[in-house]
């Protein structure tokens, strides 16, 4: 059985910026970013930045680390690792893209804060040989933020606080905001509790300047099912001259 180490591939995710609000270093600038070893959810460019941010990060870090323990105790540790490998292989573009078109942020930037995306995936019965093909597409649902309580129960408020805190921070750095994606992964046959991951997605101002893109949902489905990177897909459409047809200018 192939085994993917989450940590070995996580560093490949691009555009990670230092979690310390006062620091603007990011991976994009060629900086080596390190994950917080406890929660494995936030990045820092240096131990100095990490130390300076610890009073702010401490509470969330503990909550995230506890969530990882829950995953382990529910027997979903393997799905957590598979998801991290899949996310790293896909890169940040897929979820950015789903948020941009699913939330129609170019027409309704306020949707970044008032709605969220629920992405349902299925683990394959046969384990693939590339993390890109780890999951099968289930569905994408756009929900009002008020539906989060029903979905996550007691931890909904924590998540809302975390997202709005992140939203404030990235806006201060000139980004459009932080959208919320809840990913749920079911095992083949639907056995056991699903693995659920809360993914904050930072949207740039460029996303607000996008055009309507018909068929984005089918394309997301293809990208996930075929295990292709989104760049590959766009390049293919461009080559065949279909990209213009796919984009309806407003």
In terms of CB distance, is 169 or 210 closer to Zn ion? 169
**What is the spatial distance between Cα 149 and Cα 161, in angstroms, rounded to a whole number?**
13
Residues whose CB is less than 8 angstroms from the CB of residue 231 and which lie 6 or more positions away in sequence, other chains included: 93
Q: Binder to Zn ion among 38, 104, 120, 164 (CB under 5 A)?
A: 38
What mask, x for binding Zn ion by CB under 5 A, covers residues 124 to 163? ----------------------------------------
Structure tokens at 10: 């996580």
In terms of CB distance, is 115 or 162 closer to Zn ion? 162
Q: Is 50 in the site for Zn ion (CB under 5 A)?
A: no
Closest distance of CB 25 from Zn ion, Å: 5
In terms of CB distance, is 66 or 209 closer to Zn ion? 66
Residues whose CB is less than 8 angstroms from the CB of residue 126 and which lie 6 or more positions away in sequence, other chains included: none
Percent helix / strand / coil, the chain, rounded to 5: 50, 20, 30
Going by the DSSP 8-state scheme, the letter that residue 132 receives in this structure is: G
Closest distance of CB 203 from Zn ion, Å: 21
Stretch that binds Zn ion, among 19-27, 153-161, 165-173, 198-206 (CB under 5 A): 19-27
Task: Identify the CA nearest to 195 among candidates 91, 86, 98.
Answer: 86
Q: Is 18 in the site for Zn ion (CB under 5 A)?
A: yes
Q: Binder to Zn ion among 9, 39, 151, 234 (CB under 5 A)?
A: 39
Strands of 135-144's sheet in order across: 135-144, 115-123, 177-186, 195-203
Interface residues with Zn ion (CB under 5 A) are 18, 20, 23, 25, 36, 38-39, 45, 49, 61
């Amino acid at each position: 059985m192939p085994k993917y180490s989450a940590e070995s591939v996580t560093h490949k995710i691009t555009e990670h910026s230092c979690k310390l609000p006062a620091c603007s270093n990011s991976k994009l600038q060629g900086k080596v970013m390190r994950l917080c070893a406890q929660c494995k959810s936030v990045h820092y460019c240096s131990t100095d930045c990490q130390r300076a941010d610890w009073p702010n990060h401490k509470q969330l870090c503990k909550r995230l680390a506890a969530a990882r323990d829950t995953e382990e105790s529910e027997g979903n540790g393997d799905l957590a690792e598979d998801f991290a490998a899949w996310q790293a292989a896909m890169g940040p573009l897929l979820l950015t893209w789903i948020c941009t078109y699913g939330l129609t942020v170019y027409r309704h930037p306020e949707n970044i804060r008032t709605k969220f995306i629920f992405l349902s995936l299925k683990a394959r019965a046969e384990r693939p040989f590339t993390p890109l093909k780890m999951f099968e597409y289930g569905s994408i649902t756009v929900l009002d933020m008020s539906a989060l309580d029903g979905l996550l129960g007691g931890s909904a408020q924590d998540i809302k606080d975390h997202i709005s805190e992140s939203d404030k921070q990235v806006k201060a750095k000139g980004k459009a905001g932080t959208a919320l994606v809840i990913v749920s992964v079911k095992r083949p046959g639907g056995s056991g509790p699903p693995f659920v991951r809360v993914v904050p997605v930072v949207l740039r101002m460029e996303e607000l300047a996008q055009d309507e893109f018909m068929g984005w949902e089918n394309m997301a489905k293809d990208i996930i099912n075929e295990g292709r990177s989104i760049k590959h897909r766009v390049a293919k459409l461009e080559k065949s001259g279909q990209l213009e047809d796919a984009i309806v200018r407003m």
